[in-house]
């Protein structure tokens, strides 16, 4: 069987991680969470920025110790058995097919708000972004790695420009009252912010394609954590300090920040770059998900046809082609009946929180060094706290787990009947 090609270094790894995490969420979440919780939303940003450090480090150590394209599903399988790993794989199957179109729609809705487009070209733009991500990943990991390296530079430039140009317009008086809506919205925004910080696990799916995963994966994750935490908190601070949030301002918050310094021309530049930011996230989602399905098929949990790689590019081409179907379904649903933005984000976020709980549990079980186990416990506690605020969205991962369990029971019964 053809194997995945080892061509990635820590630079591409950091690029994949930053683009996976620092994507379309930055376009709307600083203003959305500030609208929900007021200036106190900064506590949610700071808390999750700190909590994501042990989560990222734990995922990095697991990826080094168990270099498998299955990522969290592989770690859970090693820690808790085949059935648990299969369930985690099924949970993942419900994330990217929804999360990637959601990210594309958020990015294009950002453009729509600025350019006053109708809903049809917005969906059309989202379709083009998804198609480009599938194509770039289809054509090989080298092209994919170069693409994210360029995009991550663009992301950093966009966000630094937004912060620097908005700082002279900040007013410290807008930070009072600090807690206008109480503590509950702060907790709710914390759960919502998981959308802004999911993506660390995607690097684990690509570990088999690193030239030297033992040193490059931890280095890539450390660099990504530093860049992401600094930029996210900086944008959140200036969003509140310039009062670029509230009714009617959650759809184009980043553009409004830059518009404070450069006017409408600057806002137009930000919108163009925001398309690239959105693309970067989806590009990495698609890359990681395709490797996950490939690994799950290789392990026998999914049809073996998805374990075949493209002969020339050595990419999971069949998985990438199959992604067209769920992407199209989500886009059609959004075209016919647009969903509320916060709900569109919260449902896949609930699944990612459950996945991180499983990963931290696996880290506690598998990692031997006290420091590594302590990081896994901290990540586990934080993930459980965040899960308590997702509300009804918790029904989605629970429903998937129940279906996976019933499917596993059915498989056992069929196997026993065949043996009798």
Q: What is the 3-state secondary structure (H, E, C) of 378-396?
A: HHHHHHHHHHCCCHHHHHH
Nearest to 199 by CA among 281, 315, 278: 281
Cis peptide before 177 (omega within 30 of 0): yes
Name the residue with tokens 């490059």.
Answer: 216
Is there a domain that residue 369 lies in?
Answer: yes
Classify 86 as helix, strand or coil. helix
The predicted pLDDT at position 357 comes to 92
* Structure tokens that stand for 370 in this block: 């006290």
- pLDDT at position 413: 40
Place of tokens 């930029």: 231
Question: Would 5 be classed as within a structural domain?
Answer: no
The length of the chain is: 420
CB 104 within 8 A of CB 130: yes
Query: What angle, rounded to 10 degrees, do the helices at 10-21 and 213-241 form?
Result: 30
What is the reported pTM?
0.75
The dihedral built from the CA positions of residue 178, 191, 98 and 273, taken in this order, carries a sign that is positive
Q: Cβ(24)–Cβ(230) under 8 Å?
A: no
The C-alpha atoms of residue 5 and residue 314 are separated, in whole angstroms, by 6
Q: Which residues contact 105 (CB under 8 A, 6 or more apart)?
A: 122, 123, 126, 331, 334, 344
Between the alpha carbon of residue 116 and those of residues 112, 120, 134, 336, 413, the distances in Å are 5, 12, 28, 19, 56
Q: Looking at the domain assignment, is residue 3 inside a domain?
A: no
In a domain, 1, yes or no: no
Query: What 3-state DSSP class applies to 71?
Result: coil
Question: What gap in Å lies between CA 193 and CA 186, rounded to an integer?
Answer: 10
pLDDT, residue 325, reads 92
CA–CA separation, 101 vs 40, rounded Å?
A: 30
| CATH number of the domain residue 180 falls in | 1.20.1740.10
Residue ranges of the chain whose pLDDT lies below 50: 1, 410-420
Q: Is the dihedral of CA 12, 232, 379, 407 positive or negative?
A: negative
Lookup result for tokens 């270094």: 9
H-helix or E-strand containing 113? helix 96-115
What is the spatial distance between Cα 288 and Cα 89, in angstroms, rounded to a whole number? 12
**312 DSSP assignment:** T
Q: What pLDDT, on a 0 to 100 scale, did the predictor assign at position 145?
A: 63
* Domain span holding position 250: 10-419
Cα 207 to Cα 189: distance, rounded to the nearest angstrom:
32
Q: Which of 60, 88, 79, 75 is nearest to 293 (CA)?
A: 88
Distance CA 298, CA 304 (A): 7
Helix (H, G, I), strand (E, B) or coil at 8: strand
| Residue 412: predicted pLDDT | 41
Residue-wise DSSP of 170-225: --GGGG-SS-TT-SHHHHHHHHHTHHHHTTTTHHHHTGGGBSSHHHHHHHHHHHHH
Phi, psi angles (nearest 5°) of residue 139: -85, 5
pLDDT confidence of residue 414: 38
* CA–CA distances in Å: residue 407 to residues 301, 307, 402: 11, 21, 9
Number of structural domains (the chain) is 1
| Residue 360, both tokens | 């931290």
- Of 96, 102, 105, nearest to 351 by C-alpha is 96
What pLDDT, on the 0 to 100 scale, is given for residue 343?
61
Residue 4 within any structural domain of the chain: no
């Amino acid at each position: 069987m053809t194997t995945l090609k080892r061509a990635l270094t820590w630079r591409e790894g950091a690029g994949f991680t930053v683009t996976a995490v620092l994507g379309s969420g930055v376009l709307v979440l600083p203003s959305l969470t500030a609208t929900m919780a007021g200036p106190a939303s900064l506590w949610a940003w700071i808390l999750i920025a700190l909590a994501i450090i042990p989560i990222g480090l734990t995922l990095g150590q697991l990826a080094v110790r168990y270099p498998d394209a299955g990522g969290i599903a592989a770690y859970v399988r090693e820690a808790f058995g085949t059935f648990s790993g299969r369930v985690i794989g099924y949970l993942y199957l419900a994330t990217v097919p929804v999360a990637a179109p959601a990210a594309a729609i958020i990015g294009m809705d950002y453009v729509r708000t600025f350019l006053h487009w109708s809903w049809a070209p917005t969906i059309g733009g989202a379709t083009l972004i998804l198609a480009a991500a599938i194509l770039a990943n289809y054509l090989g990991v080298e092209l994919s790695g170069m693409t994210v390296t360029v995009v991550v530079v663009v992301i950093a430039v966009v966000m630094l420009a937004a912060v620097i140009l908005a700082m002279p317009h900040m007013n410290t008086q807008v930070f009072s009252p600090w807690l206008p809506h109480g503590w509950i919205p702060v907790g709710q925004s914390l759960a919502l912010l998981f959308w802004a910080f999911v993506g660390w696990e995607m690097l684990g799916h690509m570990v088999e394609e690193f030239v030297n995963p033992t040193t490059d994966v931890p280095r890539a994750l450390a660099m990504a954590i530093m860049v992401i935490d600094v930029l996210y908190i900086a944008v959140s601070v200036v969003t509140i300090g310039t009062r670029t949030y509230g009714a009617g301002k959650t759809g184009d918050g980043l553009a409004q920040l830059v518009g404070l310094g450069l006017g409408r021309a600057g806002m137009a530049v930000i919108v163009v770059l925001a398309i690239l930011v959105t693309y970067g996230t989806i590009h990495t989602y698609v890359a990681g998900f395709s490797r996950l399905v490939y690994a799950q098929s290789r392990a026998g949990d999914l049809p073996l046809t998805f374990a075949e790689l493209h002969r020339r590019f050595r990419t999971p081409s069949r998985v990438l082609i199959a992604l067209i179907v769920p992407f199209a379904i989500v886009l059609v649903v959004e075209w016919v009946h647009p969903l509320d933005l916060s709900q569109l984000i919260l449902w896949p976020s609930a699944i990612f929180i459950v996945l991180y709980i499983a990963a931290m549990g696996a880290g506690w079980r598998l990692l031997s060094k006290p420091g590594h186990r302590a990081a896994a416990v901290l990540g586990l506690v934080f993930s459980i706290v965040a899960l308590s605020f997702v509300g009804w969205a918790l029904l989605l991962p629970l429903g998937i787990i129940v279906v996976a369990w019933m499917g596993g029971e059915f498989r056992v019964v069929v196997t026993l009947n065949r043996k009798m």
